[in-house]
Amino acid sequence: MPFDTHPHTSVGTGTVAVYSPWDEERWVSEPAKNPRRSAFQRDRARVLHSSGLRRLGAKTQVVSPGTDDFVRTRLTHSLEVAQVGRELARYLGCDPDIVDTACLSHDLGHPPFGHHGETILDALCADIGGFEGNAQTLRLVTRIEPKVIADDGRPAGLNLSRASLDALTKYPWPRAEAMAGRRDSGVRKFGVYDDDRAVFDFYRDGIDNGQKCIEAQVMDLADDISYSVHDVEDAIVAGHLDLADFAADERRAELFDITRQWYLPETTDAEMDKALGRLQAASYWPKEAFDGSRRAQAGLKHMTSQLIGRFVGAAESATREEFGWEPLARYSASLVVPETTAVEIAVLKGMATLTVMVAEDRLRLHDIQAAVINELAEWYSQSPDKLDPMFRADHAEAADDSARLRVIVDQIASLTDHSAWALYHHLNAGAEDRL
């Protein structure tokens, strides 16, 4: 029997959600350690103390780590997502520790160089099931992260509870369904590789295929809110983005095009223009150019705080209006995000995308990053003895070339931006360093 089989309650704003022993069950049964801690508190602690979470401190969010002392990394982004998600979970009555765990975990599978690193590795894995940061996250927490080993010797990763694994699965379907267009992920994202289906089927047992629990939906919205608000803040402080630029018709048109291309393909210019107008009309929207002064920075922080409250409050109100004031957990309800809120969030995301992610200097850097990852993959393929010890063992046990390539990709995905660059420069320092 799994540990923590008593029903666990979560207290929100005067509401209580009940989770069953089934929700608390783990893939590998574990003995009790501290009966005063819930299964979900243990899950959060495991992620918080994981090496994968620490590595996010040196991985790109939007602007590369090390460019200045202010910019967010994947780690600081994840901490901010967790704060937003935990508060919304508390308001809705679902367990804050489950949502916190999901939020802290949601980017663990991201490789060096941000989303562009995903694209490079996906091309490298085209013949073995592709690469996807969300699927890599599941692989990391259920297989790669060293915490629990089953009696039969198989790794179980952090061995999180069924409810926490379900909550961190943003896209609960395999690649085949995403590629076939049977899912509404928009960019064909997926959440599980074929060789990780055993654990996926364990925690998704009895759940309608493709349905997401409300905890996963809260995590997803918290990610979108943090992404939209904080990436705009980073872009402004770094000098990439001037909010006043979008007063010009041409610049607004560029913003609407990139927002539609990346985030909301069915949204019209008129809808986005109204969303931008609502944001610009807010009393906390900066009216003067950012000059780096304490006053300007305080104004920017005030804007980010108000926007987070605006978006969280809109989702909470809409969800309560549809589902009432009972505690909402697992599959008892769905998170409701008003269309106007979704468009406002997407427009903000579009601002950061337009001014940072597709800027000309960033695109030039992409070519270099592709060379780094591809050369590392080639080097590890030719010299598997250079893999980290646990990946070296996985490589030795791999049944075929496809499995061996997957291990090499696991190794590369675990690298930080800094370690990938350092290894690449080491390889290119001279022929003797390749030995």
Query: 197 and 253 in one domain?
Result: no
Residue span of the structural domain in which 151 resides: 8-53+68-203
Query: 384 and 369 in one domain?
Result: yes
Which domain-ending residue is among 314, 329, 359? 359
Q: How confident is the model at residue 64 (pLDDT cuts 50, 70, 90)?
A: low
Which domain-ending residue is among 177, 203, 229? 203
CA distances from 375 to 120, 129, 368, 372 (A): 11, 21, 11, 5
pTM confidence score: 0.91
Q: How confident is the model at residue 85 (pLDDT cuts 50, 70, 90)?
A: very high
Selection from 168, 166, 144 nearest residue 156 by Cα: 144
Give the model confidence (pLDDT) of 205-230 as tens digits.
Answer: 989 778 999 999 999 999 999 999 99
Query: 40 and 142 in one domain?
Result: yes
For residue 413, tell me if it sits in a domain. yes
Residue 165: give its domain's CATH number. 1.10.3210.10
Give the model confidence (pLDDT) of 129-177 as tens digits.
Answer: 999 999 999 999 999 999 999 999 999 999 999 999 999 999 999 998 8
For residues 70 and 296, the model is more confident at: 296
Question: Distance (Å, rounded) from C-alpha 46 to C-alpha 255?
Answer: 40
Query: 113 and 244 in one domain?
Result: no
Query: 176 and 221 in one domain?
Result: no
Query: 22 and 129 in one domain?
Result: yes
Which domain-ending residue is among 153, 181, 203? 203
For residue 59, tell me if it sits in a domain. no
For residue 341, tell me if it sits in a domain. yes
Query: 237 and 197 in one domain?
Result: no
Give the model confidence (pLDDT) of 184-204 as tens digits.
Answer: 544 479 999 999 999 999 999
Query: 283 and 191 in one domain?
Result: no
Three-state SS sequence of 383-435: CHHHCCHHHHHHHHHCCCHHHHHHHHHHHHHHCCHHHHHHHHHHHCCCHHHHC
Query: 376 and 334 in one domain?
Result: no
For residue 137, tell me if it sits in a domain. yes
